[in-house]
Amino acid sequence: MLPIYICEDDERIRDAERRWLEKQILIEGFDMEIVLCTGNPEELLDCLAYGQQQGIYFLDVELKGASMNGFLLGEEIRKRDARGFLIYVTAFQELAFETFRYHLEALDYICKQEPEQMYAGLSRCLAVIAERVGREQGGQREYFTVKTLDVIRHIPLEEILYFATSGRTHRIEVHAMRERLDFIGSMRELEERLEPHFIRVHRAYLVRDCQIAGLERKTREILLKNGERIPFSRTMRTRLEGFGYLENAGSAREENM
């Protein structure tokens, strides 16, 4: 999921940007999320680590009362997120050339004086980014697409640990490295769809094969690489042992102690 950061000193415009972006993400089903909406550039930088996950940044140029303007903020962001998407939303169209002087490689420069023009620019940027990221990842990553409530999410298969029945009729939980989502589905259909890389180890569990670290005979549990444990059925023991997971159980347990 691509994180989105907004830095705009005018609270009214900042809230308008946020609402419009949230609406477009929902309508288009983009795999994006607004994680920060602020008027303080220092607050934004505090959220970013060096080697930061690629993000999207909607920045004002003139940040009144702040320690830096939008261009200097862009420079600091570039030190942490070299591949991030910088978009400037400002009333000063004549300053667009400054992005080149600072070597910021901004994706776009949106004028916020006219709301319709601003909204069109915001929507255009999201569409361009989604298309570009999809093209870069095409053929390299496989995704599991799930609809939860009115949001469509695309989760990389390599980040999924397992699927489990939720206890509610026709509800399935997907357990990924960074999130857990609940959706309507059938374990049987998932098994057929995701073979051979996911194994139905129990009537209530479908696990990613490469996430298995070892087995515990006595408790009939699978030890996952992240330390979680899930049960496996008696009938699956022979198949799982055949993959060689049993030999790894001791070392996997020691690594997670």
Q: How far apart are CA 235 and CA 76, in angstroms?
A: 56
Q: How far apart are CA 112 and CA 240, in angstroms?
A: 59
Tokens of 82: 């070299």
pLDDT score recorded for residue 17: 95
pLDDT score recorded for residue 33: 93
Query: In terms of Cα–Cα distance, which of 198, 166, 203, 202 is closest to 185?
Result: 166
Q: How far apart are CA 119 and CA 13, in angstroms?
A: 11
Query: In terms of Cα–Cα distance, which of 198, 254, 255 is closest to 230?
Result: 198
Q: How far apart are CA 153 and CA 33, in angstroms?
A: 11
The upper half-sphere exposure of residue 195, i.e. CA atoms within 13 Å in the direction of its Cβ, equals 7
Residue-level pLDDT, tens digit, the chain, 257 residues: 899 999 999 999 999 999 999 999 988 888 899 999 999 999 999 998 887 788 999 999 888 888 899 889 999 999 899 889 999 998 876 555 555 555 667 888 888 888 998 999 999 999 999 888 877 765 556 778 877 666 667 788 888 999 999 877 889 999 998 888 888 889 999 999 898 889 999 999 999 988 888 888 888 899 998 889 999 988 887 777 666 555 444 444 444 43
Beta-ladder partners of 143:
156
Task: Give the predicted TM-score (pTM) of the model.
Answer: 0.55
pLDDT score recorded for residue 136: 74
Q: How far apart are CA 187 and CA 206, in angstroms?
A: 8
By the 8 A CB rule, do 72 and 88 touch? no
Angle, helix 11-28 to helix 115-137, in steps of 10 degrees: 50
